[in-house]
Amino acid sequence: MRLTNVSFRYRRRDPLVIEDADAHLAPGDVIELTGVNGAGKSTLLRLLAGLARPTTGTISERPPVVGFAPDRFPASQPFTVAAYLRHMSRVRGGARWEPWAERLNMRHLLATPLGDLSKGSAHKVGLAQALMAEPGLLILDEPFAGLDADTRQALPSIAAEVAGRGGIVIASDHQGGLRGLPGLRHWSMVDGRLKEGTAAPAAPPPSQATVAVTLPAEELPRFLARMREEGFQARELDTAEEARELPPAAQGRETLAPARPRDTSATREAEESA
């Protein structure tokens, strides 16, 4: 796939959002696209997806099957997750979506109306619809935003798989989630100009802390579900004593809740170690 002198403006007399972009994308490429807000990243992704035409220049040799996962999935639609994915599968000529529901850890969401999904869960639906047809060009706009830890970890290997069978993956990403991948290309948008450089080194792991939370037993399942939904590793401890014996420096970022707290009031207390 090739971009030749691609420039784009939304309306006549508007300033150019993208200026003279030249690039060649080969099968198997994984590209990380960065840039400040408003730099033109999403516009470039729309051009690559074929959703907008360049004002000048050409984009040629686009693979026939394109997968596009937007940064914000449009959840205000009158379908459950399963009904939506079934429809998308038919649009894709019968592509299999079930393996992706499994892989993206969203089987428990299948009966949930799209409008009731959290941001991260809705994002997974957007990823599943983009991945189901084995795209030759996979475009991901901020794919790591709002995802839980398991899916964040799975996404680079999914990108590598798509590239491994000859697909092109391009992801706009502020979080550096793909930086562990070998051969990753790095594009940046600076003032509407596309520049290619070496990928920045992988960011050091964030500092981590383990906290113990005491809460009424009946609130536990909902609390754990919410924490997991927000990307934290959360688990239930056997006893409150175990919570007090936490190591000074924990290996993971965990929220630990005792199973039968003595204090069953609504007050929550947290101890932070590390």
Interacting residue ranges for other proteins, rule: CB under 8 A: 46, 49-53, 64, 66-68, 70, 72-74, 76-79, 87-88, 90-93, 126, 129, 133
Nearer to other proteins, 6 or 211 (CB): 6
Nearer to other proteins, 168 or 257 (CB): 168
Nearer to other proteins, 88 or 234 (CB): 88
Q: How far is the CB of 92 from other proteins (least distance, A)?
A: 6
List CB contacts of 245: < 8 A, sequence separation 6 or more: none
Q: How far is the CB of 168 from other proteins (least distance, A)?
A: 14
3-class secondary structure per residue, the chain: CEEEEEEECCCCCCCCCEEEEEEECCCCCEEEEEECCCCCHHHHHHHHHCCCCCCEEEEECCCCCEEEECCCCCCCCCCEHHHHHHHHHHHCCCCCCHHHHHHCCCHHHCCCEHHHCCHHHHHHHHHHHHHCCCCCEEEEECCCCCCCHHHHHHHHHHHHHHHHCCCEEEEECCCCCCCCCCCCEEEEEECCEEEEECCCCCCCCCCCCEEEEECCHHHHHHHHHHHHHCCCEEEEECCHHHHHCCCCCCCCCEEEEECCCCCCCCCCEEEEEC
**Axis-axis angle for helices 81-91, 119-131 (nearest 10):** 20
State both tokens at 89. 């599968």
Q: How far is the CB of 178 from other proteins (least distance, A)?
A: 21
Q: What span, in angstroms and rounded, lies between the C-alpha atoms of 81 and 100?
A: 12
Q: How far is the CB of 46 from other proteins (least distance, A)?
A: 8
Nearer to other proteins, 53 or 195 (CB): 53
Q: How far is the CB of 87 from other proteins (least distance, A)?
A: 4
Nearer to other proteins, 171 or 234 (CB): 171
Nearer to other proteins, 121 or 255 (CB): 121
Nearer to other proteins, 12 or 262 (CB): 12
Q: How far is the CB of 74 from other proteins (least distance, A)?
A: 4
* 8 Å CB contact between 107 and 100: no
Nearer to other proteins, 167 or 258 (CB): 167
Q: How far is the CB of 240 from other proteins (least distance, A)?
A: 46
Q: How far is the CB of 93 from other proteins (least distance, A)?
A: 8
